[in-house]
Chain A
């Protein structure tokens, strides 16, 4: 069992949780993820390890309530436990001295880009970060990102906080200023990553994205998480989760993410009705 030692609501639908997992806490590196399963009847879902504390032997995850499992997770209290936490999984982010790096995070994807940003900064890169959300209340990890970056720009789609507009507009401004960018990391919803990759392609700025396809085992035995990169099929769980954004087939990724839409709705409905009934 993997006990929840801290749980906090960050915004309307985004939650942060610290889970006791000593070995994973010791071993994990930026860019890696875990598979969690709440109980016997639960499904296995992948979530990025946002942070770890080897002293407290915990890992931190940040998740958005989008369906049954994440809703059930948000109801877990300190002292409750997950039946299974498997990890660390996936390849760690390739961290090196690139020079000037721009880290772009959208929505709950900021939780995924935060550990990478931190590692890039700690390794001597100059880091400009751009984070965005629909509205002010949905911005997460602003202070942490501030601390991990040389410069941080916060954007909201509705202009309720910071820059009024998409993260891509801020990136375009930086490029237009003629500032040299050696590498871009972009993590967030599929449409956002696609826009950023399309933006940097004509300037030949190397762009790394972290993909979030459907996963089951996450050890390379099933291919549920297969994506197309440079025309070749790759398994995100063992070959990724990070890939060259200029080579990723985002249409296929978006399409495959919709595969269980109906079932997901059904499961969530059943869960909510059950909760209301109590």
Chain B
């Protein structure tokens, strides 16, 4: 009968909300929207965790974070211990706590979610990692003795950073080759400051450098050197984590008019090049008054919310299906709505209209209706004849997806790709058709999530370790 009162006490604690910047304030700045838990709130939230014997939450985490263990440490007030526990399996906890879709991962399997609300695992992860960093208590953990083996990782995005952290801890000498001038991949060029402050990404990348990971920037593999040349230089294995960074355009008339961006370009200018601080920073960006973003994913939400912060009076989402089918996280759609984004659903662009100077002035759109479910189970949108209309715009951001960049596959003989250009791997190990070459993340799966790319890095690290351990 002793457990009974305890249980009652637990249920009295509701899931703790996270304070946020008010919409009216935040659309005028690029500061982070959610402010994070205080120590008190985090402790309270941590106490909600019932410390299951067979925790489902861990099953839902692609990098196997020891969730109940780190949460217990927070509940006991040992915030630094919690951060160290997280870093045993996750090199980027401050990032994951912010951008993982927890509702589809760890929190989906939380037992408390069956009757009420799940433990806010993501917010707690964020809290512990932030606490460690903000109080300057980040330390480099013990790692295995150097084993003399060298690994080349191509691409410094979430997948490449994860495998580098894992392998360096096992004693490998790891060098990451990154094409851009900053490490982080989508974390630095894609996800905006207001969702993921770049200083946090930099701190987590610096932590990996502290672990001994070498990062070579401005190195586009396929041009500066090929995968074959990496082996010639003495690398024992190569991990390809180059992402799916090539933008998709719709190939409709007028798409090359001035003022029309791919989401990749728009976000790269704003996030990586800090064009929102032009002319303090040198890279310009078009600050449209009427900005339309085509698409309904997280990248579309990031783009339209960026447009508002750059001063747009009207920010539109133009999406060919209905809200139910939107692939963006519910939380992001909610944030966008709060900020005044206007949703033009069941609407598809058919042509861009321009002025005599070559600038976009409008989008000819057609209304859509949902037909029968397609192979993926989603109802396919069908144009409604005669329903065309024009939306006046001065800036457009095309966020309808990305595809594989061909530079690495086309310069690596024997590396098989599928018909979309993604690298073919055997199972979850990331093993490709080239001996010693592994691949993971978006270049294998197509555009997915940060955490899935990290999970692929984790599995490939184990596979590479097994491969090289077996090799005398």
Rounded to whole Å, the gap between the CB of A30 and the closest CB of chain B is: 14
| Contact among B264, B278, B280, B407 with A263 in the assembled complex (CB-CB below 8 Å) | B278
Q: Report B254-277 CB contacts with A as 1/0, cut-off 8 Å.
A: 011011011011001100011000
Query: A57 interface residue, CB < 8 Å from B?
Result: no
CB-based contact B179/A219 at 8 Å:
yes
CB-based contact A267/B284 at 8 Å:
yes
Query: B22 interface residue, CB < 8 Å from A?
Result: no
Q: Which residue of B lies closest to A260 (CB)?
A: B284
Rounded to whole Å, the gap between the CB of B53 and the closest CB of chain A is: 46
Rounded to whole Å, the gap between the CB of A50 and the closest CB of chain B is: 18
CB-based contact A264/B268 at 8 Å:
no
CB-based contact A216/B265 at 8 Å:
yes
- Residues of chain A contacted by B358 (CB below 8 angstroms): 252, 255-256, 258
| Contact among B189, B217, B269, B282 with A84 in the assembled complex (CB-CB below 8 Å) | B217
CB-based contact B268/A219 at 8 Å:
no
CB-based contact A41/B280 at 8 Å:
yes
Q: How many angstroms from the CA of A216 to the CA of B265 in the assembled complex? A: 8
Q: How many angstroms from the CA of A266 to the CA of B265 in the assembled complex? A: 21
Rounded to whole Å, the gap between the CB of A276 and the closest CB of chain B is: 16
Rounded to whole Å, the gap between the CB of A219 and the closest CB of chain B is: 5
Query: A54 interface residue, CB < 8 Å from B?
Result: no
Q: Which residue of B lies closest to A24 (CB)?
A: B224
Rounded to whole Å, the gap between the CB of B270 and the closest CB of chain A is: 11
| Contact among A84, A226, A260, A264 with B181 in the assembled complex (CB-CB below 8 Å) | A84
With A43-B273, A88-B224: A238-B283 Cβ-Cβ less than 8 Å: no
- Residues of chain A contacted by B259 (CB below 8 angstroms): 259
CB-based contact A233/B224 at 8 Å:
no
Query: B405 interface residue, CB < 8 Å from A?
Result: yes
CB-based contact A258/B258 at 8 Å:
yes
CB-based contact B268/A23 at 8 Å:
no
Q: How many angstroms from the CA of A123 to the CA of B406 in the assembled complex? A: 30
Q: Which residue of A lies closest to B266 (CB)?
A: A222
The SS class assigned to the A binding surface is mixed
Query: B279 interface residue, CB < 8 Å from A?
Result: yes
CB-based contact A270/B279 at 8 Å:
yes
CB-based contact B255/A221 at 8 Å:
no
CB-based contact B220/A44 at 8 Å:
no
Query: A220 interface residue, CB < 8 Å from B?
Result: yes
Query: A27 interface residue, CB < 8 Å from B?
Result: yes
CB-based contact A263/B284 at 8 Å:
yes
Q: How many angstroms from the CA of A48 to the CA of B223 in the assembled complex? A: 15
CB-based contact A267/B279 at 8 Å:
yes
- By size class, the interface of chain A is 35 or more
| Contact among B223, B256, B264 with A222 in the assembled complex (CB-CB below 8 Å) | B264
Q: Which residue of B lies closest to A251 (CB)?
A: B358
Q: Which residue of A lies closest to B279 (CB)?
A: A267
Query: A208 interface residue, CB < 8 Å from B?
Result: no
- Residues of chain A contacted by B420 (CB below 8 angstroms): none
Q: Report B212-229 CB contacts with A as 1/0, cut-off 8 Å.
A: 000001111001110000
CB-based contact B268/A86 at 8 Å:
no
Tell which of B60-68, B70-78, B125-133, B244-252 binds the partner: B244-252
CB-based contact B256/A252 at 8 Å:
yes
Q: Report A49-75 CB contacts with B as 1/0, cut-off 8 Å.
A: 000000000000000000011000000
| Contact among A44, A86, A233, A266 with B279 in the assembled complex (CB-CB below 8 Å) | A266
CB-based contact B264/A87 at 8 Å:
no
Q: 8 Å CB contacts to A: which residues of B271-314? A: 273-274, 278-284, 286
Query: A223 interface residue, CB < 8 Å from B?
Result: yes
Query: A230 interface residue, CB < 8 Å from B?
Result: no
Q: How many angstroms from the CA of A226 to the CA of B219 in the assembled complex? A: 23
Query: A110 interface residue, CB < 8 Å from B?
Result: no
- Residues of chain A contacted by B230 (CB below 8 angstroms): none
CB-based contact A217/B268 at 8 Å:
yes
Rounded to whole Å, the gap between the CB of B155 and the closest CB of chain A is: 11
Rounded to whole Å, the gap between the CB of B3 and the closest CB of chain A is: 55
CB-based contact B286/A43 at 8 Å:
no
CB-based contact A238/B407 at 8 Å:
yes
Query: B350 interface residue, CB < 8 Å from A?
Result: no
Q: Which residue of B lies closest to A238 (CB)?
A: B407
- Residues of chain B contacted by A258 (CB below 8 angstroms): 258, 357-358
With A233-B255, A233-B256, A263-B278: A89-B286 Cβ-Cβ less than 8 Å: no
Query: A126 interface residue, CB < 8 Å from B?
Result: no
Q: How many angstroms from the CA of A192 to the CA of B225 in the assembled complex? A: 35
Q: Which residue of A lies closest to B265 (CB)?
A: A222
CB-based contact B282/A223 at 8 Å:
no
With A41-B280, A41-B281, A42-B282: A221-B224 Cβ-Cβ less than 8 Å: no
- Residues of chain B contacted by A220 (CB below 8 angstroms): 245-246, 405-407
CB-based contact B268/A222 at 8 Å:
yes
- Residues of chain B contacted by A42 (CB below 8 angstroms): 282
Q: How many angstroms from the CA of A37 to the CA of B182 in the assembled complex? A: 12
Q: Report A211-250 CB contacts with B as 1/0, cut-off 8 Å.
A: 0000011011111101110000100001000000000000
Q: Report A's interface with B, CB cutoff 8 A.
A: 23-24, 27, 37, 41-44, 68-69, 83-89, 216-217, 219-224, 226-228, 233, 238, 252, 255-256, 258-260, 263-264, 266-267, 270
A-B contact pairs, 9 of them (CB 8 A): A41-B282, A43-B283, A84-B218, A86-B181, A258-B358, A259-B258, A259-B286, A267-B282, A270-B279
12 additional A-B residue pairs with CB within 8 Å, beyond A86-B218, A256-B256: A41-B281, A87-B224, A89-B220, A216-B273, A219-B405, A220-B245, A220-B405, A233-B251, A256-B258, A260-B284, A267-B282, A270-B279
Task: Please name the 8 residue pairs, one residue from A and one from B, whose CB atoms are nearest each other, closest first.
Answer: A255-B358, A263-B284, A222-B265, A43-B282, A86-B218, A221-B245, A84-B181, A43-B283
